Structure 1
Amino acid sequence: MNKKENYASRRNFLKTGAAAAAGFMIVPRHVLGGEGFTAPSDKLVVAGIGVGGKGESDIKSFYDSGKAEIAYLCDVDDRRAANSIKRFPKAKYYNDFREMLDKEHKHIDAVSVSGPDHNHAIHALPAMQLGKHVYVQKPLTHDVYEARVLTHAAKKYKVVTQMGNQGASGDGVRKMREWVDAGLIGDVHTIHCWTDRPVWPQGIQWPAQKGTVPSELDWDLWLGSAPYVDYIEKLVPFNWRGWWDYGTGALGDMGCHIMEAPFSILGLQYVKDVQASVGTVYVDEFKRGYFPESCPPSSYAVMTFPKTDKTAGDVKIHWSDGGIQPGRPEELGANEIFGDGGNGILFTGTKGKILADCYADNPRLLPTSRTEGANVPQKHERVPGSASGHYAQWVEACIAGYGNKQVSAPFEISGPLTEALLMANLAIRGSDMRINNKYPGRNLKLLWDNESMKVSNFDEVNQFVKREYRKGWELDYKL
């Protein structure tokens, strides 16, 4: 039996590993040594799944907290893992995350997940089922169903969770919350969020010519839960974001950064309805193209959220990407930058507006002259180091144990946030169907039944709520 066959059954290692994980015990510092002594329980033993690119900077940030030991590395691409292997030469290296968890789960405290979107859930859930704390890069998952599963699993297995949207730990979102809570802009009813992404190809045809798989890449493991296809050039390591089988487009990539502030400030949860329209592409100057495998080059979506205890009524969030921006507010000076130029957030309330950059950085009241006079007491504790603090905060919370220390982006917040973004993607994909003249019109409004996780008025998109996994890569979980 070869290695892949040996680790093809994920249920096997989960059943054997769960029993062993139950025996894990934290030894207090004072039992092992005096002041200045670092006990094993004060070091978080971290395993990284996907340790190149963003994953490389993630595990370095955990290490830089001073309280994490990077003991295990896992990546399907040896080229991408090279820097992390060099930086952490004592860490044991694997290609298959299933093998790593099977063999090393007794020694691992927490797992960092930073691969392509379509494999986030299948990497994170087994670790959670083994009682491991998890840090998962944004977007939390590829599908609505997966986001609901991870949110539910975090409570069931009582593990510390954090999504990799570091702006959630920034000073900006906390200052905005204090302004909103103080009533400086009245009741918030409308929010605009926008980005200049994608910066990768979208709205294109899948290449007809297959490429040669690099010797350092395990293509089958990279595909993971996605349908098997022949390898194509330039998909790995970055351009997968523009293909629906692997990525979630500009909305999935940047929405968790830009829409986090509205969610956490207003206490938003599940979207009630969403409408969307998309930019078109042309194969020549006369013929409009339709490439259903690829995300559109630009999109515009409007999400409606039910009233919360922080709002007077429903809240609408307008999302736009591909360089599309909302109209400049009249209160913004002619030479003042709208957002950060390419990305931004605009809160509109009954008494005023707040403008911020990506990650909720640099918040200012409009007109900006109001900002200096906003003497609102600081009520929310700041996270030291902001972006870097996002990592250190999770490490410390893991060491403290489930329920003992607050984090900025636990799955109870980032799960519903991700669901809302993926729900908007359903409308974007549905609108793309209509562009193909399968249905009349181009602007599609979806009505969402949150309890059954189903679109009630356009069944064609429900196939994307929970996609069909490749055989052997299914999620082993029941809601």
Structure 2
Amino acid sequence: MQDNQQSGSSAVTRRRFLGTALATGAATFAAPAILRARNLNERLNIAIVGSGGRGGANLNGVKSENIVALCDVNENNLNAAAKKHPQAAKFTDFRKIYEDPNKFDAVVVSTCEHTHAFATLPALQLGKHVYCEKPLTYNIAEARKIREAAGRANVATQMGTQIHAGDNYRRVVELIQTGAIGDVSEVHVWVSRAWGRHDSLEAGQEAGDPYAIAERPLTTEEVPTGLNWDLWLGPAPKRDFHSTYFPGPKWYRWWDFGNGTMSDLGSHWIDLPFWALNLDHPLTIEASGPQPHPEIAPASMQAVYEYGARGDLPPVRVSWYQGTYKPQMWHEEQIPRWSSGVLFVGDKGMLLSDYGKHVLLPEEQFAGFTPPEQSIPKSRGHYGEWIHACKTGEPTTCNFEYAGWLTEANHLGNVAFRTGKKLQWDAENMRATNAPEAERYIHRDYRKGWSLT
């Protein structure tokens, strides 16, 4: 793969090749010699960075391999994982793992969003395979850096969008790409989760937010026993401990640590049109919602992306809705009122999907419709796909080339929301040409002692 900033057309060509590679079994990179020489039954040596919460789930997903290192800033999580993997070395600072790179072949990163890039980049620079939980990075600049580093490293990478491995997404992609509903001009993506800032604590509780908060707490609390709060903060600005931020997923609504529902669930739901329509970078992004808060991501908002033509594919508008926002057709009951969904609008019909099911609309129009022959093979499982890629060099479906563009796009929705402008996006130079104030959301300064080089 090439690195450096890529044009949209070359990126799309690469992703189309990846789709072909998955269907034919072609490899997109060569596995390192040390792995090519191995029997496929020989286990990888894997370092686990983050072992609680999502980290525990990801650890369980790769437990068939040889777990040689465990790291967590919370010793309670660390010790619980060590009981199941007593042979693994224990760390609280993931930077220490990389001081002895001969001990491991691959890394699974499941830290909080604001430290993903810091745990991932050194692994790529050492030529290690990496699985990283979604979203890939905290901001756009980090996503670009990680995507390019992965291209140079030429290793197996996978972002943790587990639903991507499901059969339903594969069937939807086949339907869209074989023209079942014709040329797609619009996509509407909505999720009902309403976590983030509300006008009041009561409003948040009414919206079903289990961690509802309206403002930053004015008090501080004692750091829980076993938690290294300074390491948890990592590159983020210094602030005193409070249970409003920890444990997860409380932190994800705070701009200092995460980017709310847009980057979190967007990784799963926008993934489907991204895959089906060969998307990469938008031309413009516009967002609407409540008045942006300086510290807390919104519970409800909307973002609209305009994508240009991609090869023989026409321009398309992708609209995102979260919380109380829904497509007009949903409100008017022109489509089934699913709580979350992806609606593709083509010139020959529509397709509505969620994680596990899909339907062609209007249903009477597609009565007796014969779906295309399955061309995308069944997944080995999201973890199995990555492990197999580590050992053979075969492609993964959510590699960092693909996931990097998806992550950038999701973050752009928040950048547009926070600036309050319709952004004209120059992807090659990674800047909003009409909004220099967006720079503070594309990049950020790190706390003393932390750098991403």
TM-score by length of 1: 0.81
The equivalences for 1:247-286 within 5 A come to 247-280=258-291
Q: What is the deviation of 1:89?
A: 2.0
Establish whether residue 111 from structure 1 lines up as the match of residue 100 from structure 2.
Answer: no
Find the counterpart in structure 1 of residue 362 from structure 2. 367
Q: What is the deviation of 1:247?
A: 0.7
Find the counterpart in structure 1 of residue 388 from structure 2. 396
Structure 2 SS opposite 1:304? strand
Structure 1 SS opposite 2:265? helix
| Counterpart-to-counterpart distance in 1, 2:344 and 2:370 | 16
Establish whether residue 427 from structure 1 lines up as the match of residue 416 from structure 2.
Answer: yes
Q: Does the CA contact (< 8 Å) of 2:183 and 2:313 recur in 1? A: yes
The equivalences for 1:294-305 within 5 A come to 294-305=296-307
| Counterpart-to-counterpart distance in 1, 2:445 and 2:253 | 19
Find the counterpart in structure 2 of residue 6 from structure 1. none
Q: What is the deviation of 1:202?
A: 6.4
| Counterpart-to-counterpart distance in 1, 2:150 and 2:286 | 30
Q: Does the CA contact (< 8 Å) of 1:455 and 1:461 recur in 2? A: yes
| Counterpart-to-counterpart distance in 1, 2:254 and 2:312 | 37
The equivalences for 1:210-249 within 5 A come to 210-238=220-248, 239-249=250-260
Aligned CA distance change for structure 1 residues 257 and 27 (closer, same or farther; 3 Å):
closer
Q: What is the deviation of 1:79?
A: 2.2
Aligned CA distance change for structure 1 residues 368 and 167 (closer, same or farther; 3 Å):
farther
| Counterpart-to-counterpart distance in 2, 1:308 and 1:202 | 41
Q: What is the deviation of 1:227?
A: 1.1
Match of 2:186 among 190, 193, 199: 190
The equivalences for 1:137-176 within 5 A come to 137-176=133-172
Find the counterpart in structure 2 of residue 46 from structure 1. 46
Deviations 1:333-373 (A, max 9, x none): 88x5x33x2x1100001111110114xx3121113452762
Structure 2 SS opposite 1:126? helix
The equivalences for 1:454-473 within 5 A come to 454-473=431-450
Name the larger-Rg structure. 1
The ranges of structure 1 where at least 4 consecutive aligned residues each deviate by more than 6 angstroms after the TM superposition are 330-334
Q: Does the CA contact (< 8 Å) of 1:145 and 1:465 recur in 2? A: yes
Partner AA of 1:270 in structure 2: H
Q: Does the CA contact (< 8 Å) of 1:43 and 1:399 recur in 2? A: no
Q: Does the CA contact (< 8 Å) of 1:200 and 1:242 recur in 2? A: no
| Counterpart-to-counterpart distance in 2, 1:83 and 1:161 | 27
| Counterpart-to-counterpart distance in 2, 1:27 and 1:357 | 38
Q: What is the deviation of 1:297?
A: 2.3
Establish whether residue 414 from structure 1 lines up as the match of residue 409 from structure 2.
Answer: no
Establish whether residue 87 from structure 1 lines up as the match of residue 97 from structure 2.
Answer: no
Structure 1 SS opposite 2:318? strand
Partner AA of 1:181 in structure 2: Q
Partner AA of 2:385 in structure 1: Q
Q: What is the deviation of 1:262?
A: 0.8
| Counterpart-to-counterpart distance in 2, 1:350 and 1:27 | 47
Aligned CA distance change for structure 1 residues 156 and 28 (closer, same or farther; 3 Å):
closer
Q: Does the CA contact (< 8 Å) of 1:203 and 1:296 recur in 2? A: no
Q: Does the CA contact (< 8 Å) of 2:135 and 2:264 recur in 1? A: yes
Find the counterpart in structure 1 of residue 376 from structure 2. 380
Establish whether residue 321 from structure 1 lines up as the match of residue 317 from structure 2.
Answer: no
| Counterpart-to-counterpart distance in 2, 1:351 and 1:173 | 20
Establish whether residue 25 from structure 1 lines up as the match of residue 34 from structure 2.
Answer: yes
Partner AA of 2:304 in structure 1: V
Structure 2 SS opposite 1:81? helix
Question: What's the Cα RMSD here?
Answer: 2.1
Q: Does the CA contact (< 8 Å) of 2:35 and 2:391 recur in 1? A: no
Structure 1 SS opposite 2:317? strand
The equivalences for 1:447-458 within 5 A come to 447-458=424-435
Deviations 1:172-222 (A, max 9, x none): 222112212221101011001111222455672111111111121001100
Q: What is the deviation of 1:265?
A: 1.1
Aligned CA distance change for structure 1 residues 258 and 371 (closer, same or farther; 3 Å):
farther
Q: Does the CA contact (< 8 Å) of 1:278 and 1:299 recur in 2? A: yes
Structure 1 SS opposite 2:247? coil
Find the counterpart in structure 2 of residue 283 from structure 1. none
Q: What is the deviation of 1:127?
A: 0.9
Q: Does the CA contact (< 8 Å) of 1:75 and 1:96 recur in 2? A: yes
Q: Does the CA contact (< 8 Å) of 2:415 and 2:438 recur in 1? A: yes
Aligned CA distance change for structure 1 residues 322 and 144 (closer, same or farther; 3 Å):
same
| Counterpart-to-counterpart distance in 1, 2:211 and 2:415 | 20
The equivalences for 1:50-89 within 5 A come to 50-63=50-63, 66=64, 68-89=65-86
Structure 2 SS opposite 1:25? helix
| Counterpart-to-counterpart distance in 2, 1:374 and 1:166 | 28
| Counterpart-to-counterpart distance in 2, 1:415 and 1:321 | 22
Deviations 1:227-271 (A, max 9, x none): 111111231112111100101111111001001111111111111
Structure 2 SS opposite 1:380? coil
Aligned CA distance change for structure 1 residues 213 and 362 (closer, same or farther; 3 Å):
same
Establish whether residue 205 from structure 1 lines up as the match of residue 194 from structure 2.
Answer: no
Partner AA of 1:362 in structure 2: K
Number of residues of Structure 1 aligned to a counterpart in Structure 2: 406
| Counterpart-to-counterpart distance in 2, 1:416 and 1:235 | 28
| Counterpart-to-counterpart distance in 1, 2:79 and 2:334 | 48
Between 1 and 2, higher relative CO (CA 8 Å, sep ≥ 6) is seen in 2
Aligned CA distance change for structure 1 residues 154 and 381 (closer, same or farther; 3 Å):
same
